[in-house]
Amino acid sequence: MLTIKDCRLVWPDFTADYSLSVENGTLCAIVGPSGGGKTTLLHMIAGFETPDSGELTFDGQDLRPLSPAARPTSIVFQDHNLFPHLTASENVSLGLRASLRLTAEERTLVADTMEAVGLHRLGHRKPGEMSGGQRQRMALARALISRKPLILLDEPFSSLDPSLRRDMILLVDDMRRSRPVTILMTIHTPDEVADLADQMAFVADGRVVASGLPAEIMQGPWVYRHRPESAG
Amino acid sequence: MIRELIFAATLLGFATSLAHAQSKPPLTVYTYGSFAGKYGPGKTVKERFEADCACELNWVTAEDAGSLVGRLRLEGQSTKADVVVGLDMNLAAEAKALGLFAPHDMDVKNLSLPIQWADDTFVPFDWGHLAFVYDSNKLANPPKSLKELVENPNGPKIVLQDPRTSAPGLGFMLWMRKIYGDQAGAAWTQLKPRVVTFTKGWSEAYGLFTKGEADMVMSYTTSPAYHVVAEKKNNFKAANFAEGHYLHVELAGMTRTTKQPELAKKFMAFILSDAFQSAMPEGNWMMPAKDPASGLPAAFNDLVKPAKTLLYTPEEVQQNRRTFTDEWLNATSR
Amino acid sequence: MKLPHPGSLVALAIVALVAGGFIALASVDGGKPALLSIGPYLVRVLLFSLVQASLSTILSLLFGIGVALALARRHFPGREVVLSVLGTTMVMPSIVAVLAVLSVYGRNGWLADGIRALGWTGDFSIFGYPGILIAHVFLNAPFVARIVLDGLHVVPAEQWRLAAALGFTPGQTFRHLDWPVLRAEVPGLAGLVFLLCFKSFAIVLALGGGPSRATLEVAIYEALKIELDFSRAAWLAFIQVAICLSITIVLNWTFTRPPVTTTSRPPAPRPDRVHRGLRVFDAGVLLMSAAFIVPLLLSVLAGARYAVEILDTDLAAAFVVSVAIATVAATISCLLAVALGAAARRHRLALRSPRVAALYDLLPNMLLAVPPFALTAGLFLIMRKFVDPAMAGFVLLPLINGLGALPFAYRSIAPRQLLAGERYGRLSDSLGLSGMTKFRLMDWPLLRRPFAAAFALSMALSFGDFGIVALFGGTELRTLPYLLYERLGAYRLDEASAVGLLILFTAFCLAHVSGRMSYADD
C-alpha cells in the first residue's frame, strides 16, 4: 500500500500538504483543476521533489531517503518521454538496463512488451517517425518493463485525440489486470476513467480535498468550488 | 526597438544637418586618423588656418595612407576631397595615376628635406628617416650598421611590419634592397631568425616592442622625441646605421575636382608656412618639411642624424614593388 | 500572382548584394576580371590557414564544451558573471587580444616572470602556432561555451527527471542527454569558429612570426590597399568564399540537425551533479580554464589605470557613434534573421523540403566568409552612383556590421522560430493567421527573448568591430575601435588599452543582458 501522510512542500508562492492512501493493484485517478498540485504529487512520489515533513511509504518502506532510481516507481510524462536519438526498442530497453547492453532473454522480453502495447514491428523506428499515440505506448512499455510495482502516469494521454485516449486508457486498465502493479494517473477529463478507476482523488490548492469511489468524487461539492478546467 | 530606430535615425540626421549647416565655405581635407586625432596636429592646423581664411576646415579621415588612396580610388571623380594630407611617398605613383590631383604651382626649392624636391603634384609636409628604435637600458650596444644587424647571428631580436600591409614595412624592404641590391633575398634569409614577426601595421609592432617582445622595432628617427617630450624618458634611442637611412616623406596634394580651388590653393600654401610646420614636430612626431623660424623643439635637435639618405623614386617603387615583395616572401616564408 | 515569401526576397537581396559587390569590384577597370593563378605562396598560405583554423577550431570546441558541461553541472556564487564574461571575449579588437596574450605569455610576460622567479634562466617564444592558437582559443572558446550551455538548457526537464528515474550513470547522461545537444550545436559552431580563424589576419601576422604564417585575407588587404588592384582583390575574395562555403557545406552534411525540442516546465536539476568523480573533474576543468582566461582578462583590465586620461569629448562622441551604429546594425541583423528564419521554417515544415531550408541556414554563415573590406569597396562602387559619397559611410557601416552579425543573430532566432512553428503552426493555419498577425500571436511570444538576446549580441559584435571603419571612419564616424587605433598611432598605448577596456566592458554589459534574456525560462 502507498501511504502519504501530511507531506508538506513549501515554495515561496505555493504550499502543498498531501495525505492519501492507495491500495495495491488498483488504479487511482487523480483529478482537479490545473495548477492545483496534481503533478507535484506524482513528482514527490517519484522522488523529484522532497517533502519537508511527513510520511511517505510503500509497503511499509520509507521512500524519502531513496533516489528516484532506487524507488519502486516508474513514471510516464505527458511529453518528452523518449530520447529522440534512440530507436523505439532502445527507448524501451532503457527501462530494463540504462547501459542498453541486453542479454538474449532480455531482448525477448523487450519484444514481448512491445507487442503487449501493440508496437511489434516498430522497434527500429525513432520517436520522430511515430505518431503521438505510438510514442505514449512506447513510454508505457518502458514503465512496464522496469517491473516497478508503482506506475505513475502524469497526464499521459492529454495530447492525444479523444478516441485514441480511450484506447490508451483501456490499455492501462488491461496492464494492471494482467500484472501486479499499482497505477496513479493524473487526468483532467475524469469522465473518461470513471468506469475503470477503483479510486479517485480530487487535488486542489496543494491538498487532497477528497478521495473515494469515482462516482462519489464526481458528485461532490468540491467539483463546483473548483471550477473544472476546460479540456484541451 | 522602434524608439531605438528613431533615435538612430535622428542621430544620423543630426550629423547630416551639421554637415550642411555651415555659413562659411567648407574646405574638406582628407587625412589619416592619428593626424586629426586628439594628439595629432589636426586641431592646431584647423584653428590656425581658419583664423584668416573665412572658411571652415573639415577633416575627413581614413585609417592610414593606404586607406586614403583606396578611398580616393573608390570615390573617383565624385570625391569630396579638396586637399589630401598624408599620402605616402611610396604610394605617390599610384596616387598620381588616379588622375585626381592637380599641379601645385608652388615654389618647393628651399625646403629642409634631406633631398631636393622636384615633384609638381605633391608637396611634402613632413618627413623622417626610418630607424630601429631601442631601449638603451636593455640594449647597451646596438648594431652600428644594417650589415651588422643582418649578419650578426647573435644580434638583437627585432620586430618589423609586413611590407604588404604597412608603410614602414614597405620602407624597410626598400632599405634592404638599397643596401644589398640583388643580394637582398639572401640578406633577408640571414636576418629572418632574429625577426620576431612581421605585423600588420606600425601600431602592432610598436606595441610588441613596448611589451618587451623585441629589442628593436622598425620606426622613425623621430620616435625617441616622443618619449622625451611626452613621457620624460631618455632611454629610447634610434640606432644610427653607417650605410644611411631610408627616407619617409609625407605628402599633400589638391584635387582637380575641388569646387573651392582658391581655398584649396590657399591651404596648399599654408602647408609650407610656419603656422602649419611648427605643429608637425610635437603633433605628428615628424620633422617639418620647412624649418619654422622659431626653430625645432630641443628634443628634435638631439635626434640621430643619418649620414646618408636612401630613397627610390615613386616610379621605381611602383615598377618594382611586386618583384621586391616576392623576393622578400621567398626569403622569409620558408 | 502570389508574392514571394519575404524571407526569400531577403535571401535573394543578400546574395544579390554580395554578388553585385564582387562584380562591381572585379569590373572596376572596365575590363573583365582577370582569371589569375594564385601562385605557390598563396597555396602554402591556404594550407597553413586550413591547418591553423582547424586546430584553433578543435581546441576551442574541446575547451568550450568542457567548460559548458562543467558550468551546466555546477552552480556557485558569481556564476552569472562568469557566463557574461564568456560572451565578451569574442568581440575583443584583435590588437587588444594580441597585447593581452603577450602580457601573459610573452618573452617578458607574467608567465615568464613567474618561472624566472623560480630560478629558471631560459628564453622562450610563443610566436608561431602557440601564440596563434592561444589567441584564437582565448577569443573563441568562451563563446563556444556560451552557445553550448544555451543548448544544454533547452533539454526538456522531463528528460532530466527520466534520467534520474532510470538511474543513469554520468556516462549514460552524457550519451543520452548531452551528446545529442552537442551533435546539434557543434557543426554550426565549428563552421563559425573555423571561418573566424580562417580569416583572422592581424592576430596571425602579429603572433605568427613570419609571412609563412598568413591568411588569404592578407593578400586581399594588400590588393585593396597597397596595389589598388581591385579585380585581384575580388578574385581572391571569391576563392576565400568558395573555400569557406565548401567547408560549411561539408560540416552541415556530415551532421544533420535533429529536431528541436523544448519544454515549458521549469528546469530540473541534473542527476549527475552529485557524482563524486565528476565533481573533481569539473573543478579541474573550471580551475584550468580560469587559469587560462583570468590572467588574459586581468591584463586587459590593467587598462583601467589610464581610464581617467581618456575621459574627454572625443570619447563621449565615439561612444555615442558606436552605440548608434551598433543599434542600427543590430536592428538590420535581427530583422534579416527573422525573415530568413521564417523562410527556412516554411521550407522545413510547410513545404517539406529540408534541403532548401538547409540552404537558408547556410546563407548567414556564408556571409562570414566574405571579406568585409572587399564587400564594402564593391558596394561603395555601386552606391556612389546614387548616394553622396560623403554619406556612404553612414549607410555602409551599419549595413556591413549588420550583415557581419547576421550569422550570430540567426543562430539564436531561427531555432525558436522553428519551435513556434512546430507548436502552433497548424493552429495558426487553421485560424487563418498570416502576416504580422501571425508573427505577433504565434512567433513573438516565443521569439521575444532570443530576439532581445540576439540584438544585444549583434550590438556587441558591431561595437568591437574595426573592419571597415578603417576605410570609412571619419571625424563624424569615429567609433571606439577607431579611437583605439588613432591613439595607438599617436604612441598612446596606455590610452588605447583603456579604450580597449571600455569596449570590452560595454560588450560585457550587453552579454549580461543577452544572457539574462536567453536563460530566463518562458
Taking the domain B128-247+304-332, which CATH number applies? 3.40.190.10
Model pTM? 0.84
Residue with grid cell 521512500, as numbered in its chain: A63
Return the higher-pLDDT residue of B82 and C426.
B82
C125 interfacial to chain B (CB closer than 8 Å): yes
C-alpha cell at B104: 601645385
CA angle C239, C136, C187 (to 5 degrees): 65
* CA distance linking residue C232 with residue C254, whole number of Å: 33
Q: Which residues of chain B make contact with C95, given a CB cutoff of 8 A?
A: 203-204, 207
Q: Residue B77: which residues within 8 A CB-CB, separation 6 or more?
A: B100, B257
**Could you write out the three-class secondary structure of B113-179?**
CCCCCCCCCCEEEEEEEEEEEEECCCCCCCCCCHHHHHHCCCCCCEEEECCCCCHHHHHHHHHHHHH
Taking the domain A1-72+149-232, which CATH number applies? 3.40.50.300
CA distance B235 to chain C (A): 16
Q: Which of C228, C379, C459 to mutate to test the interface with B (most CBs of B within 10 A)?
A: C228
Residue A231: burial class (beta carbons within 10 Å; 0-12, 13-18, 19+): exposed
Query: What is the predicted ipTM?
Result: 0.82
Q: Are B117 and B252 in contact (CB under 8 A)?
A: no
Size of chain C in residues? 522
C-alpha cell at C214: 598568413
pLDDT band at C266 (very low <50, low <70, confident <90, very high): low
CB pairs under 8 A between B and C: 208
Q: Which residues of chain C make contact with A46, given a CB cutoff of 8 A?
A: 161, 165
Q: Which of B11, B22, B45, B74 to mutate to test the interface with C (most CBs of C within 10 A)?
A: B74
Nearest CB among C210, C474, C482 relative to B197 is that of C210
A touches which chains (3+ CB pairs under 8 A)? C
Q: Which of B162, B197, B215 to mutate to test the interface with C (most CBs of C within 10 A)?
A: B197
Q: Which residues of chain B make contact with C324, given a CB cutoff of 8 A?
A: 7-8, 11-12
Considering only alpha carbons, which residue of chain B is nearest residue C380? B74
Q: Which residues of chain B make contact with C210, given a CB cutoff of 8 A?
A: 192, 195, 197-198, 332-333
User: C206–B208: do the CB atoms touch at under 8 Å?
Assistant: yes
User: A69–C259: do the CB atoms touch at under 8 Å?
Assistant: no
Nearest CB among C161, C167, C263 relative to A48 is that of C161
What pLDDT, on a 0 to 100 scale, did the predictor assign at position C521?
A: 44
User: A80–C166: do the CB atoms touch at under 8 Å?
Assistant: no
| Cβ contact C–B (≥3 pairs, < 8 Å) | yes
In chain B, where are the structural domains located? 2-127+248-296, 128-247+304-332
From first to last of its 232 residues, chain A has per-residue pLDDT tens of: 999 999 999 988 889 999 999 999 999 999 988 888 999 999 999 998 889 999 999 999 999 999 888 899 999 988 888 888 889 999 999 888 888 888 999 999 999 888 888 888 888 888 888 888 888 889 989 998 988 999 999 988 887 888 888 888 888 888 888 888 999 999 988 888 888 899 999 999 999 999 999 988 888 777 766 654 443 3
pLDDT of residue C58 exceeding 90: yes
C107 interfacial to chain B (CB closer than 8 Å): yes
C-alpha cell at C270: 541534473
Residue B88: burial class (beta carbons within 10 Å; 0-12, 13-18, 19+): buried
C touches which chains (3+ CB pairs under 8 A)? A, B
The amino acid sitting at C339 is: A
- Nearest of A149, A206, A203, A157 to residue A181 by alpha carbon: A149
pLDDT band at C267 (very low <50, low <70, confident <90, very high): low
User: A98–C167: do the CB atoms touch at under 8 Å?
Assistant: yes
User: B69–C490: do the CB atoms touch at under 8 Å?
Assistant: no
What pLDDT, on a 0 to 100 scale, did the predictor assign at position C36?
A: 58
CA distance B245 to chain C (A): 22
Domain formed by C6-519, architecture: Orthogonal Bundle (1.10)
Where is A53: in which H helix or E strand?
Answer: strand A53-58
User: C225–B19: do the CB atoms touch at under 8 Å?
Assistant: no
Judged by DSSP in three states, B217 sits in strand
pLDDT of residue C258 exceeding 60: no
CB pairs under 8 A between A and C: 67
C169 interfacial to chain A (CB closer than 8 Å): yes
Considering only alpha carbons, which residue of chain C is nearest residue A129? C259
User: C166–A98: do the CB atoms touch at under 8 Å?
Assistant: yes
Residue-wise pLDDT tens digits, B132-155: 999 999 999 999 999 999 999 999
Residue-wise pLDDT tens digits, B1-43: 445 545 555 555 555 555 555 578 999 999 988 898 888 999 9
Q: Which residues of chain A make contact with C258, given a CB cutoff of 8 A?
A: 84-85, 128
Q: Which residues of chain C make contact with A144, given a CB cutoff of 8 A?
A: none
Show which of residues 55-94 on chain C sit within 8 Å of chain B, judged by CB atoms: none
Looking at CATH, the fold of the domain delimited by B2-127+248-296 is given as: D-Maltodextrin-Binding Protein; domain 2 (3.40.190)
| Cβ contact B–A (≥3 pairs, < 8 Å) | no
pLDDT average, residue stretch C181-197: 86
- Nearest of A146, A202, A199 to residue A25 by alpha carbon: A199
Return the higher-pLDDT residue of C355 and B102.
B102
